[in-house]
């Protein structure tokens, strides 16, 4: 290096800084002037659109790298995902038999119609997009970021959707709910949603019908106080769920009371057939009736049996898969912020995987108490 | 720093010691076994002080002393006598003295006439059982004993290693999972002393304390008799409601109240909670307010304890449960 180099370097540095400052100033003046057109109706230049899509693809690919997908072919998972998609996603992304809303079509970029034209993302990449959303596109993140179990249900459904007919979609998404065809006056005067997106029964069933998916809890005959508390906790976001919070949030306290009373009065559903594994059921019965004092586990039935407070759910005949999911959430440290969760979380953390399998299989096989029905 | 100021600081630093001087201190022995330990401690202290003085004087002489003294200290004879023979004789003497003085605590586990009490260390409280022909006597975090009578504590652990130590009454004995250790002691006269788990056992180890209440023998017998009884039937509408809520809220899954459907054994027996001195393992006195606070907010009273917080109760329901429990004499 020559002796003149330090002087030349300094000059170069000054010029670089000055031109950067000039560029920043020019950008600021451009934004300040209002000359840039932010109209969604105008679209992007082709080169900008290419650059944005290119950046998005690479960002999603990089960030999805550490994620590992669980098995996604479980029909219960697909059904739960379909039901959520129907209420949360179909407005913008359409579904078999349901076109994208004309309003959503005018977004920039227009949301892709996923049934026909989904980019060939990997499962993990879809998961990441559903969990976090995408900046500058209008795609929102998941309401309860930590509920990976719920997000995987949506991914499981999205994988199936392209091969789905309109009728099989509506069976998955609506369950037992059938929108009655309304006459002209009703259509003109009654506020109704032709897609029934807010109907609880799409997932939980109603009357004599049970839930469509074993991942969804059975509400029939549960104490009204417990149901109302759960809905309030979902609505306020204390109980975290990207599926339940959007549905519970619009309900006012009278709606919540009426809904809770309705499900509380329904007759409990018939219990599930007992699992064939005898030793598993014996362990489950032991945990439910006497607990495991040496490991600090109290008996489930003391709080979840027929004589307990109406503040607690009854577990006899509840879906084993649903109970397993809740216990695993508590064990992972989630859902401990509700008053009920604060009690259950430390107890769930004292259970092994086998204990969870045993106790849920046993409780699912016990007949619910018919006398509980209608109790406020 | 002046000498006066230094002394003041030293006195200040020693203040915490004075707070345990009375009811949690080895320097205040209140039973023959504790007295022996205190005597042994003082004896050891005296011998150690003597040895320290000799060593300091010898070191000073070896550095600054006259040539004759330095030569003597450096001679092989001095090394043999002062470095080998003297320590061997002194330590052997101390060992014999220690064994002799603490022989009384060496335990014949089935000493006739002794009152046997089982104490199980659990994370992070003490489960206490008394043998009684009239029925079970189960309590927690509080041991009542008769003055003058020989006691044999059978010490067990339900989880990790704990250590049972009531400094005013005797030595420290570990509670080891899978085996029973014993401690024999006697309290000379009535009084209330404090014990403390002396082996780190996780989380709220520092709050794992217990009370030892020494009663005149007749009072002790009356207390033991009262403890064998099942819980009294609630007499007022408020306490009845408290009892019903206690059962319906599932408290009985972990706690026993004899005479009710509550038969849980995960946590402490509450049959006579109102007759105890403290709630939440010696963290606060038994009052209605403190019981309610522990039910709702026990994690702030004793952080890390195994009872989940019960925030589900309306204020008046919580009060009803607390009134009921505080009344269980």
| pLDDT at A374 (0 to 100) | 44
Best residue in A232, A233, A287, A296 to probe B by mutation, most B CBs within 10 Å? A296
- Out of B158, B254, B309, name the one closest to residue A298 (CB): B254
Best residue in B308, B313, B314, B321 to probe A by mutation, most A CBs within 10 Å? B308
Task: Express each pLDDT in A204-220 by its tens digit.
Answer: 999 899 999 999 999 99
Strands B172-175 and B115-122: unpaired
Count other C-beta atoms under 10 Å from residue A72's C-beta: 19
Report chain A residues whose CB lies below 8 A from the CB of B265.
Answer: 293
| pLDDT at B240 (0 to 100) | 94
For chain A, what percent of residues have pLDDT higher than 90?
80
- A333 — contact with chain B (CB < 8 Å)? no
Q: Pull the structure tokens for residue A71.
A: 């098995």
Report chain B residues whose CB lies below 8 A from the CB of A311.
Answer: 249, 312
Interchain proximity B249–A303, CB inside 8 Å: yes
Task: Express each pLDDT in A316-340 by its tens digit.
Answer: 999 999 999 999 999 998 888 899 9
- A299 — contact with chain B (CB < 8 Å)? yes
DSSP H stretches of helix in B122-249:
217-228, 237-248
Task: Express each pLDDT in A26-61 by its tens digit.
Answer: 999 999 999 999 999 988 999 999 999 999 999 999
Distance of CA B270 to the CA centre of its chain: 20
Tell me which residue of A359, A360, A366 sits closest to A291, measured CA to CA. Answer: A359
CA dist list (Å): A366 to A284, A360, B98, B311: 11, 10, 64, 29
- B310 — contact with chain A (CB < 8 Å)? yes
Report chain B residues whose CB lies below 8 A from the CB of A330.
Answer: none
- Residue A339 and residue A326 in contact, taking contact as beta carbons nearer than 8 Å: no
| pLDDT at A371 (0 to 100) | 62
CA distance B302 to A140: 42
Question: B272 Cβ partners below 8 Å, 6+ apart?
Answer: B139, B226, B227, B231, B328, B329
Question: A367 Cβ partners below 8 Å, 6+ apart?
Answer: A268, A270, A271, A316, A317
- Residue A216 and residue A319 in contact, taking contact as beta carbons nearer than 8 Å: yes
- Its pTM stands at 0.85
Best residue in B255, B256, B312, B315 to probe A by mutation, most A CBs within 10 Å? B312
**What's the rounded mean pLDDT across residues A86-92?**
94
Question: A138 Cβ partners below 8 Å, 6+ apart?
Answer: A92, A107, A111
Task: Express each pLDDT in B38-93 by its tens digit.
Answer: 888 898 899 999 999 999 999 999 898 898 888 888 889 988 998 899 999 989 98
- Measured in residues, chain A has a length of 376
CA distance A233 to A244: 10
CA distance B141 to B155: 14
CA dist list (Å): B194 to A133, A226, B105, B173: 59, 44, 20, 15
* Burial (Cβ within 10 Å: 0-12, 13-18, ≥19) of residue A127: buried
- Residue A307 and residue B248 in contact, taking contact as beta carbons nearer than 8 Å: yes
Number of helices (H), then strands (E), belonging to chain B: the values are 9, 12
* Burial (Cβ within 10 Å: 0-12, 13-18, ≥19) of residue A238: middle
| pLDDT at A375 (0 to 100) | 47
Question: B300 Cβ partners below 8 Å, 6+ apart?
Answer: none
ipTM: 0.85
Secondary structure of chain A: what % helix, strand, coil (to 5)?
55, 0, 45
| pLDDT at A336 (0 to 100) | 84
β-partners of residue B139 are B128
Count other C-beta atoms under 10 Å from residue A67's C-beta: 15
CA distance B311 to B298: 10
CA distance B109 to B118: 12
Question: A34 Cβ partners below 8 Å, 6+ apart?
Answer: none
- Residue A242 and residue A142 in contact, taking contact as beta carbons nearer than 8 Å: yes
Identify the H or E element spanning B183: strand B181-185
| pLDDT at B2 (0 to 100) | 63
| pLDDT at B40 (0 to 100) | 87
Identify the H or E element spanning A51: helix A46-63
Count other C-beta atoms under 10 Å from residue A299's C-beta: 23
A105 confidence band (pLDDT: 50, 70, 90) = very high
Helix (H, G, I), strand (E, B) or coil at B70: helix
For chain B, what percent of residues have pLDDT higher than 90?
57
Task: Express each pLDDT in A223-275 by its tens digit.
Answer: 999 999 999 999 999 999 999 999 999 999 999 999 999 999 999 998 887 77
List b or e across B171-202, with b for residues whose CB sees 16 or more CB atoms inside 10 angstroms: bbbbbbeeeebbbbbbbeebbebbbbbbbebe
Q: Pull the structure tokens for residue B83.
A: 């470095």
Interchain proximity A339–B308, CB inside 8 Å: no
Distance of CA A46 to the CA centre of its chain: 35
Question: B316 Cβ partners below 8 Å, 6+ apart?
Answer: none
- DSSP state letters, A143-207: SSTT-HHHHHHHHHHHHHGGG--HHHHHHHHHTT--PPPP-HHHHHHS---TT-TT-THHHH--T
> Dihedral of CA A27/A30/A34/A39: which sign?
negative
Question: B227 Cβ partners below 8 Å, 6+ apart?
Answer: B130, B132, B137, B139, B271, B272, B275
- Out of A303, A339, A347, name the one closest to residue B311 (CB): A339
Strands B125-130 and B115-122: antiparallel
- Out of B158, B250, B310, name the one closest to residue A302 (CB): B250
| pLDDT at B107 exceeding the cut of 80 | no
Task: Express each pLDDT in B199-224 by its tens digit.
Answer: 999 989 999 999 999 999 999 999 99
Task: Express each pLDDT in B112-130 by its tens digit.
Answer: 788 899 999 999 999 999 9
Using CA coordinates, name the residue in chain A closest to B267: A296
- A307 — contact with chain B (CB < 8 Å)? yes
Q: Pull the structure tokens for residue B4.
A: 């006066």
Phi and psi angles of residue B182, each rounded to the nearest 5 degrees, phi first: -125, 150
Task: Express each pLDDT in B135-173 by its tens digit.
Answer: 778 899 999 999 999 899 999 999 999 999 999 998 889
DSSP 8-state class, residue B318: H
- B309 — contact with chain A (CB < 8 Å)? yes
Helix (H, G, I), strand (E, B) or coil at B156: strand
């Amino acid at each position: 290096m020559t002796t003149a180099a330090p002087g030349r370097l300094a000059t170069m540095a000054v010029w670089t800084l000055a031109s950067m400052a000039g560029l920043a100033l020019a950008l600021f003046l451009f934004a300040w002037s209002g000359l840039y057109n932010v109209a969604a109706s105008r679209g992007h230049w082709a080169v900008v659109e290419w650059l944005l899509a290119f950046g998005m693809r690479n960002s999603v690919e990089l960030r999805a790298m550490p994620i590992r997908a669980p098995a996604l072919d479980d029909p219960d998972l697909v059904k739960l995902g379909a039901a959520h998609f129907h209420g949360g996603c179909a407005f913008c992304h359409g579904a078999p038999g349901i076109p994208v809303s004309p309003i959503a079509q005018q977004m920039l970029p227009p949301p892709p119609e996923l049934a026909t034209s989904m980019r060939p993302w990997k499962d993990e990449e879809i998961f990441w997009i559903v969990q976090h959303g995408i900046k500058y596109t209008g795609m929102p993140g998941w309401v309860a970021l930590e509920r990976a179990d719920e997000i995987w249900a949506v991914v499981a459904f999205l994988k199936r959707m392209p091969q789905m007919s309109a009728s099989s979609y509506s069976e998955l998404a609506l369950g037992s709910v059938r929108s009655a065809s309304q006459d002209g006056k009703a259509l003109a005067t009654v506020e109704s949603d032709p897609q029934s997106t807010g109907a609880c029964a799409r997932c939980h069933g109603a009357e004599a019908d049970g839930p469509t998916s074993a991942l969804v809890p059975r509400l029939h005959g549960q104490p009204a106080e417990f149901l109302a508390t759960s809905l309030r906790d979902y609505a306020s976001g204390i109980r975290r769920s990207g599926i339940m919070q959007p549905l519970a949030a619009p309900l006012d306290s009278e709606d919540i009371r009426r809904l809770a009373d309705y499900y509380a009065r329904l007759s409990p559903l018939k219990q599930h057939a007992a699992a064939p594994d005898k030793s598993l059921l014996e362990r489950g019965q032991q945990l439910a009736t006497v607990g495991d004092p040496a490991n600090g586990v109290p008996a489930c039935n003391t709080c979840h049996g027929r004589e307990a407070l109406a503040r607690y759910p009854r577990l006899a005949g509840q879906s084993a898969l649903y109970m397993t999911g809740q216990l695993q959430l508590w064990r992972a440290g989630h859902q401990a912020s509700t008053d009920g969760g604060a009690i259950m979380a430390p107890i769930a953390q004292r259970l092994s995987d086998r204990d969870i399998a045993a106790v849920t299989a046993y409780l699912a096989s016990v007949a619910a108490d018919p006398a509980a029905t209608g109790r406020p | 720093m002046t000498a006066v100021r230094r002394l003041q600081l030293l006195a200040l630093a020693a203040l915490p010691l004075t707070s345990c001087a009375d009811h949690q201190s080895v320097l205040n022995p209140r039973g023959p076994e504790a007295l022996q330990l205190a005597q042994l401690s003082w004896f050891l202290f005296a011998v150690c002080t003597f040895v320290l003085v000799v060593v300091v004087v010898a070191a000073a002489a070896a550095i600054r002393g006259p040539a004759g003294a330095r030569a003597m200290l450096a001679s092989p004879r001095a090394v043999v006598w002062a470095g080998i023979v003297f320590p061997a004789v002194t330590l052997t003497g101390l060992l014999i003295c220690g064994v002799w003085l603490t022989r009384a605590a060496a335990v014949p586990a089935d000493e006739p006439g002794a009152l046997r009490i089982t104490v199980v260390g659990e994370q992070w409280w003490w489960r206490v059982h008394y043998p009684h022909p009239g029925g079970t006597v189960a309590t927690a975090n509080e041991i009542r004993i008769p003055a003058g009578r020989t006691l044999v504590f059978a010490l067990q652990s339900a989880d990790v290693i704990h250590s049972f130590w009531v400094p005013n009454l005797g030595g420290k004995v570990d509670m080891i999972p899978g085996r029973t250790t014993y401690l024999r002691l006697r309290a000379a006269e009535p009084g209330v002393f404090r014990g403390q788990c002396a082996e780190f056992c996780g989380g709220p180890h520092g709050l794992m304390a217990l009370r030892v209440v020494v009663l005149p023998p007749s009072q002790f017998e009356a207390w033991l008799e009262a403890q064998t009884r099942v819980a009294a039937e609630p007499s007022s509408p408020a306490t009845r409601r408290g009892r019903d809520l206690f059962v319906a809220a599932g408290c009985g899954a972990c706690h026993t109240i004899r005479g009710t459907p509550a038969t849980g054994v995960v946590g402490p027996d509450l049959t006579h909670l109102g007759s105890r001195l403290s709630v939440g393992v010696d963290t606060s006195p038994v009052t209605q307010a403190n019981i309610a606070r522990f039910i709702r907010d026990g994690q702030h009273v004793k952080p890390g304890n195994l009872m989940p917080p019960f925030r589900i109760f309306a204020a008046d329901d919580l009060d009803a449960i607390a009134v009921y429990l505080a009344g269980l004499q």
